[in-house]
Structure 1
Amino acid sequence: MSSSEDHCYRLLTDYANGFMVSQVLFVACELGVFDLLAEAPGPLAVAAAVGASSHAMECLLDSCVSLKLLKLEMRGGQDEDMAFYGNTEMSRVYLSRVSPTSQCSMLLYMARTTYHCWGHLAQAVREGKNQYLRTFGVPAEELFTAIYSRSEGEQVQFMQALWEVWSMHGRSVLTVFDLSLFPLVCDLGGGAGALAKQCRCLYPRCHITVFDLPEVVRTAEEHFSLSEEEQIGFQEGDFFKDRLLEADLYILARILHDWVDGKCSQLLERVYQSCKPGERWGPLLMQLYSLNMLVQTEGQERTPSHYHALLSSAGFRDFQFKKTGVIYYAIVARK
């Protein structure tokens, strides 16, 4: 086998085994491995804490070491060396539930929802539509109703997952434009208010209201406490059916990519009708995320020109697009 063939084969093997890597990460998060190791090193202590096989837990922990999620130190015991596992910086910062930048809830959502939808990617490609019904027995148009009708714990976890996303990327998105020019801000589908909270801290003179489904608002108010400087308002409603709040600026973060063009246009037209007239103020990841939208929702990720067309068809004219420096881009459109 030539060196180029050998490289290609190793690359192919990496691609084929990718799902195993994801599962190691997901399972370690689900079992709380990274939190347990912060308190009690060693596979036996972790296995006992979660009621798992000590041998199987050791295999899982060793895999985490290979993935640089954990570090391993061998220490001499009375009869033989003992293995002591500890968190790496990556796991301490992103995988420990007590970390302010923890991504555990998002990873668990991916494990319990996204991962299963991807099991039907072949059908999604053949049919050109999402596989939520085939995966969970619920039509995609009822996706969010289904998510929020689950147990209270699952509702909170889904909302916490979105909170974690914006804990990482919110500031970059919100500072790409000067939003202090907009006194009244409405965050459509803002969940527990993670992005709205950051907007409030960055632009303290703005009055910010999250507009979301009644069950979302109730869960947010019960489980997600905000400090005095983070205070925002909540308004119950369905943004496809109910009257929208009048605002100077509407935030639609991770909203339009859930829906087909027709529904996007319908929502944008409703936003346009409610929006206060404005003054004249001066690659691979996207493809993977589009497939992710295909297997889970009605929508897709879109290029800037595609969003421009959607916004223009709804009546918006002044369109600006900017990169944030992270995985999200930001768009602002004025009436």
Structure 2
Amino acid sequence: MNLHQFRFVQEAVRRNLNLTETAKALYTSQPGISKAILELEEELGVDIFVRHGKRLRRVTEPGQEVLKAIEVILREVGNLKRIGEEFSKQDAGTLSIATTHTQARYLLPEPVAQLRLKYPKVNVSLHQGTPEQVAQMLVEETADIGVATESLAGYSELVTLPCYEWQHVIVVPAHHPLAQMERPTLEQLAAEPLVSYHPSFTGRKKVDAAFERARLKPRVVLEAIDSDVIKTYVRLGLGVGILAEMAVRDPVADADLVWRPAGHLFGQNVSRVAFKRGAYLRNFVYAFAELVSDRLSRALIARAMAGDPEEQDFGL
């Protein structure tokens, strides 16, 4: 048996047992993949897949156990490569970050700049996507570290740690009646057209849940994933904005807007960092996590990666 066979089996499962797509993804031939998988099954003495003709239909029960073992083997092979890179290149390489637009725009610029000063030979690759895409990039090891508010804690393949808390804010032009209110109510917001995030981004589910509990039906006239886009439409009078508080911290750029904290309405949100469980983390990955939040340390992350349940959530 060999690593090529393991990769063929793993990728076939990722591609929903479509060997044509598997061959394209691995830049090889479909007959070659079929032959390699059959040879592995013959060597193991079990069928990994149930077949109908030449088509793979499902993974067998022993195949499920084989897949788990393959996952461990290929993960450790990846770790060996990263260890080699760590000690051969020292503090050089690429830090791959998966995150959402809000984190990339408002949280990460300063930590990235500080990392580049500390590790000038490290390049940064920033991947933006939905929270689900962030999680998937970590699972597939496209990214070393992920930062998001939603979804990350729901993946057993990931180790997640809280890094900071934040609340939503209500944003209006200075002339809007709500600008005179220190603590707007849900009833007042439900009477206004609203401009906010897409339901899968930046704590929007908590906003919807608050209105639902109050038995109110808000009128969301525009949804976006970009905080700056939301602010633009608020300026145009399209509606009252509900944004993350880190999106309104620039007193110069946002001088024409008035914002009010809305934690009393929608509660607190927790943004988290995440890593692939069992992955080998290079020195600059630990360093970057520490720059993202002073609540994170190399020792704490290492304990969490080792499976210490008490390190999964430290008081948040």
Superposition TM-score tier, normalisation by shorter sequence? 0.3 to 0.5
**Bigger RCO of structures 1 and 2 (CA < 8 A, at least 6 apart):** 2
Q: Report the TM-score, using the length of structure 1 for normalisation.
A: 0.34
From the CA coordinates, give the structure whose radius of gyration is larger: 2
